[in-house]
Amino acid sequence: MTLQAPPAPRNAQGRIRRVGVEIEFAGLPPRDTALVVRELFGGELNAVSPHRLQVENTRWGEFVIELDTQYAHPDRRVLDDRIALDGEWAHHQHQLRTEFHQKTRELIGDMVTGLVPTEIICPPIPWNELDLLDRLFDALREHGAKGTDASLLYGFGLHLNPEIASPADDDIRAMLQAYLLLAPWLRDDIKVDITREVLPHANPFPKDYALKVLAADYRPKLAELIDDYLHDNPTRNRELDMLPLFAHLCPEHSHALLHSRLTKPRPTFHYRLPNAQLSQPGWGAVTEWNRWVEVEKLAADRQALAERSAAYIADHSRPFYRRWADKLRRLFHSR
């Protein structure tokens, strides 16, 4: 599959834009996965804990490979707790407490291995090198990794974190509008797994929010855009999670979600919709990046964006029964 170029290949500083990639899967534990990563991309293996490893100093930076549950990993707050360590007995108690904590977390990880997914968090990669990253997906398949469609219990996903091309208010709004318009097409083209549809992690945006944002007179400044988003989407569980970007662009905003431990500020869109299609030969980051680029193309074409927004509003302003009648006609005509 040919890697598609985005309309804006460079960021506001003139550097090639980068993309963070995260993937979940079963069938391959973290240590074996880390060895696959190191074999492909070089670097040094660093075992942070039994179920969290890093492959450092690769061509792109640091890969993190871990069981995707916080309970399999030592809690830094426990390890770093040094309250009232004034004497030898206090130090001894702290050491016993941390050793017990680490052993307990290791045991939990051993017990849930195979039940919770392994996750690879890739370093930010230049978008024009994503085809090189796809070697990883091929290798995971060869080593027995299982993706979303291997079981009804597997709600695994692939997340993309494309770096923004511009922090301008109009550009951020246009990207959000383009995504709202193309979300139904993306869901259909990806064929989002039924298990992932049931789970809350990649929920669609409410229709009322889409109608608000797609209105022709909707031209908010960043602060208003953020306030509107948080009012209608007070959650991380959206197919396009804007919270990391908003936390980066507006660190002084007071909303608790933007300061949550789980919200990591970064100048990227957090796109959570794709399945982890490891059973599909040829599938990888390039496949999902190319779909994402269609969002960027629509956002860059302001006339097409305005026309499609108007058409969306007109369609959703019709009575419910007429819209359903049209959908049923299209369904039967397509057979």
> What pLDDT does residue 201 have?
85
Mean pLDDT of the chain: 87
131 three-state secondary structure? helix
Q: Which residue has the higher pLDDT, 127 or 90?
A: 127
Distance from C-alpha of 230 to C-alpha of 253, rounded to nearest angstrom: 11
In this structure, the dihedral spanned by the alpha carbons of residues 264, 197, 289 and 234, taken in order and rounded to 10 degrees, is -30
CA angle, 241 then 156 then 103, to 5°: 100
Mean pLDDT of 216-233: 97
In this structure, the dihedral spanned by the alpha carbons of residues 170, 4, 136 and 288, taken in order and rounded to 10 degrees, is 60
Asked if 276 and 137 count as a contact pair (C-beta separation under 8 A), the reply is no
Residue 170: in which H helix or E strand, if any?
helix 169-190
Residues 99-135: tens digit of each pLDDT:
544 555 544 444 445 557 899 999 999 999 999 999 9
**pLDDT more than 90, % of the chain:** 70
DSSP tag of 69: -
DSSP string for 196-260: HHHSSTTBPPPHHHHHHHHSTT----HHHHHHHHHHH--SS-BSEE-HHHHHHH-TT---GGGG-
- C-alpha distances (whole Å) from 116 to each of 119, 127, 162, 197, 231 are 9, 29, 26, 18, 32
275 three-state secondary structure? strand
Query: Does pLDDT of 303 surpass 60?
Result: yes
Query: Does pLDDT of 186 surpass 90?
Result: yes
Residue 22: in which H helix or E strand, if any?
strand 18-25
**pLDDT more than 70, % of the chain:** 81
Tell me which residue of 276, 313, 308 sits closest to 295, measured CA to CA.
308
Q: Are strands 63-67 and 125-126 parallel, antiparallel or unpaired?
A: unpaired
Residue 11: in which H helix or E strand, if any?
none
Query: Does pLDDT of 194 surpass 70?
Result: yes
Phi/psi region, residue 57 (left: phi>0; alpha: psi -120 to 50; beta: rest), is: left
Mean pLDDT of 50-55: 88
Asked if 316 and 323 count as a contact pair (C-beta separation under 8 A), the reply is yes
The owner of tokens 């990993």 is: 73
Residues 5-46: tens digit of each pLDDT:
999 999 999 999 999 999 999 999 999 999 999 999 999 999
Cα four-point dihedral sign 118, 123, 127, 128: negative
pTM of the model: 0.86
Within 8 A by CB and 6+ apart from 161, the residues are 19, 20, 21, 22, 124, 244, 266, 268, 269, 270, 271
Residues 307-318: tens digit of each pLDDT:
999 999 999 887
